[in-house]
Amino acid sequence: MPQFPLSDTEIKAFIDSAFAEDIAGGDVTAELVVSSDASLTAAMNAREPMVVAGLPLAKEVFLRLAPECTITVFAKDGDQLNAGDKILHIEGNARALLSAERTALNIVQHLSGIATAAKSYADEILGTGATLLDTRKTIPGLRKLAKYATALGGAKNHRMGLFDAVMIKDNHIAVAGSVTQAVSAAKISGRSDIQVECDTVEQVSEALEAGANSLLLDNMGPDTLRQALMLVGGRIPCEASGGVNMKTIRAIAETGVDYISVGRITQSAPAVDIGLDFSAS
């Protein structure tokens, strides 16, 4: 199980930013309608099947505004929940909990949506030998959290940022002049993590001859993927990407490719339905 990716300092900064955009000027409704000494109890429940993610951060959101609140946790990040399952129970100052509610829910719904989507894709390729990878297609500022959520769902983290590895893509090749020239320029550094994006079998052949360490086979159908993999002959790892969805991923995996990267699991995963129901205490 992956460790929660944010340090205490990063958690504080994240919550500072979240509250700055939501309650920087105060929660005018709660202040006008709710007595300052009123208390509430609330239950956070799953309303659909999901892989839950983001609970450590949500707890800190509540504790920031209601440091004396009592939180009882019934689930942990990575748990697979069914509709109706309890996630947590909270008791504390009504104004504070009402002000923190949306921020906490947004975090858990969004990250659980990513984890749940990742699990769906990972389950679809079970038994094929292929590994699901995430991508850099994340909301700016949320990459660590998004990639944490994909790992909870069964994906393998791939490139946290541009600093992680050399990935020569089509635009790099266009500027460099050719696959060979791009790989040669990268190899001068002595790096051994040079991946090349290939759109055609011809580019696969050129990348192999140039000395690429791995290949990204982009937007290739299963038949073309098999041709490319035959040419590679298992000499270096190969990743498939582009046009991957729940209808296509199994056939892609069955070609024998080592990895499949799916931008959808972070770029367009729907938030899951989670309820936070309050009652006066």
CATH number of the structural domain spanning residue 93? 3.90.1170.20
Q: Which residues of the chain have pLDDT under 50?
A: none
Beta strands in 52-209 (DSSP E): 70-73, 80-81, 86-93, 131-133, 166-168, 194-198
How many domains, in total, are found in the chain? 2
Is residue 233 assigned to a domain? yes
Q: Is 102 a catalytic residue?
A: yes
Is residue 142 assigned to a domain? no
Token representation of residue 135: 């991508």
Q: Is 218 a catalytic residue?
A: yes
- Does residue 104 sit in the same domain as residue 162? no
The range of the structural domain enclosing residue 102 comes to 8-116+270-280
- Does residue 275 sit in the same domain as residue 257? no
Of the residues 197, 206, 239, 258, only one is catalytic, namely 197
193-248 pLDDT, tens digit per residue, is 999 999 999 999 999 999 999 999 999 999 999 999 999 999 999 999 998 999 99
Q: What angle do CA 239, 240, 243 make, to 5 degrees?
A: 155
- Does residue 174 sit in the same domain as residue 226? yes
Of the residues 169, 187, 250, 264, only one is catalytic, namely 169
- Does residue 220 sit in the same domain as residue 256? yes
- Does residue 168 sit in the same domain as residue 218? yes
Give the type of residue at 5.
P
- Does residue 165 sit in the same domain as residue 104? no
Is residue 135 assigned to a domain? no
Q: Is 197 a catalytic residue?
A: yes
Of the residues 206, 218, 239, 258, only one is catalytic, namely 218
Q: For residues 19 and 29, give the distance between their C-alpha atoms in angstroms, rounded to a whole number.
A: 16
Is residue 238 assigned to a domain? yes
Q: How far does the chain reach from its first CA to its final CA, in angstroms?
A: 36
pLDDT of 25: 87
DSSP characters for 127-161? TSS-EEE--S-S-TT-HHHHHHHHHHHTPBP--SS
Burial of 233 from C-beta contacts in 10 A (0-12 / 13-18 / 19+): exposed
pLDDT of 281: 60
Q: Is 144 a catalytic residue?
A: no
Is residue 132 assigned to a domain? no
Q: Is 187 a catalytic residue?
A: no
Is residue 227 assigned to a domain? yes
Is residue 131 assigned to a domain? no
- Does residue 225 sit in the same domain as residue 276? no
Is residue 127 assigned to a domain? no
Place of tokens 């190969």: 238
- Does residue 102 sit in the same domain as residue 165? no
- Does residue 162 sit in the same domain as residue 243? yes
- Does residue 72 sit in the same domain as residue 33? yes
Question: 207: part of which helix (H) or strand (E)?
Answer: helix 201-210
- Does residue 235 sit in the same domain as residue 274? no
Of the residues 22, 85, 91, 137, only one is catalytic, namely 137
CB atoms within 10 A of CB 84: 10
Of the residues 102, 156, 250, 264, only one is catalytic, namely 102
CATH number of the structural domain spanning residue 172? 3.20.20.70
- Does residue 12 sit in the same domain as residue 107? yes
pTM: 0.95
